[in-house]
A and B are shown apart, each in its own frame.
Chain A
Amino acid sequence: MKFSVMVNEGPYNHQASDSAYHFTKAVLQAGHEVFRVFFYHDGVNNGTRLTTPPQDDRNVVARWSELAVEHKVDLVVCVAAAQRRGIADADEAKRNGKNADNIAEGFRISGLGQLIEAGIVSDRLVEFGD
């Protein structure tokens, strides 16, 4: 079965990103396909590589990055939501006249059309949020 996942809350304050991660991993381990993970609302905050959690805690962002690298999962951060919250890749930073970018490995920034597309082509779109 083809799944897509939507993450609507940021890391650490809310379990949505943790649950979405465990769900995505379980889907892959069960042999299903994950077409895309889409980060929206405060969920875009899962895509900053500047996250520095205490060493005795999980690294939510790094976990997603590892999943993207290991399983070629498409992690997409919504551009409009990202602009509001200060998440940028090199292109976005340049386009908006910012002096830094912070996107984490394995994430890419794109538009809301990617979410609609995920809803259309996937057998299930599973949303994690409040």
Chain B
Amino acid sequence: MPTVKKMMYVNRRAPHGTGYALEGLEVVLIGTAFEQEVCMAFIGDGVYQIMQGQDTRAAGMKNFSPTYKALGDYDVTRLYVEQESLSERGLSVDDLMPLTYEDEDDDWAEKPSVQVIVRKELSQIMAAQDVLFNF
């Protein structure tokens, strides 16, 4: 299967109220084995998935937020966060986990994976994809 497609995983929901975020993340991780050109988008309540300092103990839910920190090691290095979604929720990039990856084309320099972009720019990136997975 030599085809390489542009794939975007679109995350639209808060992390712990439904199972979509956790099971969506499982698809991303399995997908890394296929060596496609992948990125993720966080829109709407999806921005809560990568919030810093998540503590699920009182809710009795599994805290899978540390898993996002491993994405860089699996070459998932572009995490687009919609600016409007952050603003609407009173959040800024400082509220998000400082997710990074090591750039093999730049002497393994550590770089941020999270890119906060406006809705219009995100829609253009979305339109350029071959496959969208919505969670």
Contacts and interface: CB of A to CB of B under 8 A. Distances in A.
Given A40-B23, A41-B23, A80-B26, A125 B34 contact: no
A68 interface: no
A115 interface: yes
A115 B23 contact: no
Interface stretch (B1-9, B39-47, B120-128): B1-9
Interface residues of B, number: 18
Interface in A95-130: 111-113, 115-117, 119-121, 125, 127, 129
B31 A116 contact: yes
A125 B5 CA distance: 12
Interface string B124-135: 000000011110
Contacts of A81: 23
A94 B25 CA distance: 28
Nearest to A84: B19
Give the dominant DSSP class at A's interface.
helix
A129 B27 CA distance: 16
B34 A120 contact: yes
B1 A121 contact: yes
Given A119-B133, A120-B3, A121-B3, A112 B36 contact: no
B68 interface: no
Interface centre among A40, A80, A117, A119, by most chain B C-beta atoms within 10 angstroms, is: A119
B30 interface: yes
Nearest to B131: A119
Contact of A113 (B20, B23, B34, B132): B34
A119 B1 CA distance: 12
A109 to B, nearest CB: 15
Nearest to B20: A41
Nearest to A125: B131
Interface centre among B33, B36, B131, by most chain A C-beta atoms within 10 angstroms, is: B131
A127 B132 CA distance: 9
Given A41-B20, A41-B23, A81-B23, A116 B3 contact: no
27 contacts: A41-B20, A41-B23, A42-B19, A80-B26, A112-B26, A112-B27, A112-B30, A113-B30, A113-B34, A115-B27, A116-B33, A116-B34, A116-B36, A117-B1, A119-B5, A119-B7, A119-B131, A119-B133, A120-B1, A120-B3, A120-B5, A120-B34, A121-B3, A125-B131, A125-B133, A127-B132, A127-B134
Interface of A: 6, 8, 40-42, 80-81, 84, 111-113, 115-117, 119-121, 125, 127, 129
